[in-house]
Structure 1
Amino acid sequence: MPRRGRFVLLLAPLWLAACAQEGDFGRPARSAWNGLVDTTGTLAARERGTPSSAFPLTDDEITLRDRAWRFLMPADGRAAFEDALANLTRARVLPPNWRRDDLPSYHEGLISESFRSPFSRYRRLSDDAIADGRLIPPFAALAQRVFEADTLRLRALPLSGSVDGWDVRQAAMRVAENRCLVAWVRLETTLRIARYRYALEHFLIEMPGREAVPAEQALAFLEGRRALLDPLLPPDAAARCGFGEPASQAVLAPPLVAKY
């Protein structure tokens, strides 16, 4: 494809993203617009050389992508444009590492909103952390099921006489896609915990109070559930997928509120 054609291919979804609709629980609605964005994302991923398979998605793979949506979207939800770009990242039109590791963003989003009592800010943090934590076990179980199906897929390759090199490549890319998606979710969950921790640390300075205790407990709950993602992939899976190591990995601090 000519260079100009590839440039148009990559930029077109930026205009289309404004038309992308959302379905239940903030997930992308099934629509012609979102389908077009996803299709273009596959083509753009191929242009970048990242894993992208032409095989149809299984039911579990579709559900895995729907459930990943929660973790790949910005937690603060304060900028529609940022959400649109994140949608394009999910669709692989943009590489996952385009987004800045903006540690203060969640705190800034909460503190900039009008509120009557500091309790509501602590409560919002607690609710968000608990909601994330409750979604991790079903996501981890589903990821494990997808990985088991991938193992079956790879074992079947040498047993099929009609399979050619194209089929082998598509199968390998789908396996890589699935693993990189889970690695991305694991990485983003770690970053989200770091943003929550940053917000709690600053809340304790800005508006100290007993409300910090349940917020700390909610963070501990999320961190415990996040550990369920660790056995799914090697520790360096994110780096293998090209995501790199986020700066926020270094700022994960021990709990500030020790007494429950």
Structure 2
Amino acid sequence: MTRAGSRSAGLLLALLLGACAQEGDFGRPAPSAWNSLIETTGTVAAYERGAPASAFPLTDDETVLRDRAWRFLMPADDHAAFSDALANLTRARVLPSRWRRDDIPVYHNDLIAESFRSPYSRYRRLSDDAVADGRLIPIFAAVAGRVFEADGVRLRALPFSKSLDDRDVRQAAMRVAENRCLVAWVRLETSLRIARYRYALEHFLIEMPGREAASAEQALAFLEGRRGLLDPLLPPDAAARCGLVELPVQAVLAAPVVAKY
């Protein structure tokens, strides 16, 4: 089999595995051999793309961080099985994150396409999703803080560890970058999720106005407030530095083209 054929076969296998991934409790991936294989495949794929991917074993907090990220990196809607499979492969880094489009209307479109007996159920679903997201953010932020603190210990220990070689140093640096880029990705996806919820609420108000909109607005405000807990964790440009979004044009133009001597 050619190299290209091997990659195609590998991707096909990965897609099949992604479709089998299941969600466990509290928005975390269910522990299973399939999910473990997807995670391993994702680390290898990320490394081949040049993304930070360390072979070091995960600490307990790093494992929890990845489990807690599951909810925010998977679609809020749950009706497109193929899209869910692709999203899971993206979350596990088998596929690069930037292939996904910022499809803001998708959440609204999926909810309105369902058969429902009363508009109340659409507003209630929106409120429940927003509140569930908001309740999980403080837990994620706390775990991220512990991971970053441990990363600091890791980096401070490097100059004093005489038995380390260049590979050890690279693996440590990649794990630190890997952890930070995961948090940057969750922060980015949380903002996009809020935009999708806001889009849905605004369209519900036009399509089927009702008193239930007030509760949905309160739920969105709750989520937006909790979203702020992610801001102090990383610099504002973390998503761009991790390759999750394009660098702002201003940042590109600010870089000098010719250095003056």
TM-score computed with the length of structure 1 as normaliser: 0.90
Task: Supply the distance in 2 between the matched residues of 1:197 and 1:89 (Cα, whole angstroms).
Answer: 24
Determine the structure 1 residue equivalent to 2:229. 228
Task: Supply the distance in 1 between the matched residues of 2:138 and 2:19 (Cα, whole angstroms).
Answer: 32
Q: CA deviation at 1:7?
A: 4.7
Residues 1:177 and 2:196 are matched in the alignment: no
Is the 1:9–1:40 contact (alpha carbons within 8 Å) kept by the matching residues of 2? no
Q: CA deviation at 1:10?
A: 4.1
Task: Supply the distance in 2 between the matched residues of 1:211 and 1:147 (Cα, whole angstroms).
Answer: 40
Q: Which runs of 5+ in 2 are unaligned?
A: 248-261
Residue type at the aligned position of 2:68: R
Task: Supply the distance in 1 between the matched residues of 2:197 and 2:191 (Cα, whole angstroms).
Answer: 10
CA RMSD of aligned residues (A): 1.7
Determine the structure 2 residue equivalent to 1:157. 158
The percentage of aligned residue pairs carrying the same residue is 79
Residues 1:17 and 2:5 are matched in the alignment: no
Determine the structure 2 residue equivalent to 1:140. 141
Determine the structure 2 residue equivalent to 1:129. 130
TM-score computed with the length of structure 2 as normaliser: 0.89
Is the 2:19–2:81 contact (alpha carbons within 8 Å) kept by the matching residues of 1? no
Task: Supply the distance in 2 between the matched residues of 1:125 and 1:65 (Cα, whole angstroms).
Answer: 25
Moved over 6 A (4+): none
Q: CA deviation at 1:25?
A: 3.8
Determine the structure 1 residue equivalent to 2:85. 84
Is the 1:197–1:219 contact (alpha carbons within 8 Å) kept by the matching residues of 2? yes
Is the 1:239–1:245 contact (alpha carbons within 8 Å) kept by the matching residues of 2? yes
Q: Deviations over 1:28-53 (max 9, x none)?
A: 22222222211111111111000000
Is the 2:27–2:68 contact (alpha carbons within 8 Å) kept by the matching residues of 1? no
Determine the structure 1 residue equivalent to 2:32. 31
Determine the structure 2 residue equivalent to 1:106. 107
Q: Which runs of 5+ in 1 are unaligned?
A: 247-260
Q: Deviations over 1:38-74 (max 9, x none)?
A: 1111111111000000000000000011111010110
Task: Supply the distance in 2 between the matched residues of 1:215 and 1:17 (Cα, whole angstroms).
Answer: 32
Distance 1:21 1:213, change over 3 A: closer
Residue type at the aligned position of 2:44: L
Task: Supply the distance in 1 between the matched residues of 2:131 and 2:58 (Cα, whole angstroms).
Answer: 30
Task: Supply the distance in 2 between the matched residues of 1:145 and 1:191 (Cα, whole angstroms).
Answer: 25
Q: CA deviation at 1:245?
A: 5.4
Q: CA deviation at 1:16?
A: 2.3
Q: Deviations over 1:82-105 (max 9, x none)?
A: 111111011110001111111111
Distance 1:229 1:44, change over 3 A: same
Is the 1:133–1:222 contact (alpha carbons within 8 Å) kept by the matching residues of 2? yes
Determine the structure 2 residue equivalent to 1:191. 192
Task: Supply the distance in 1 between the matched residues of 2:162 and 2:188 (Cα, whole angstroms).
Answer: 39
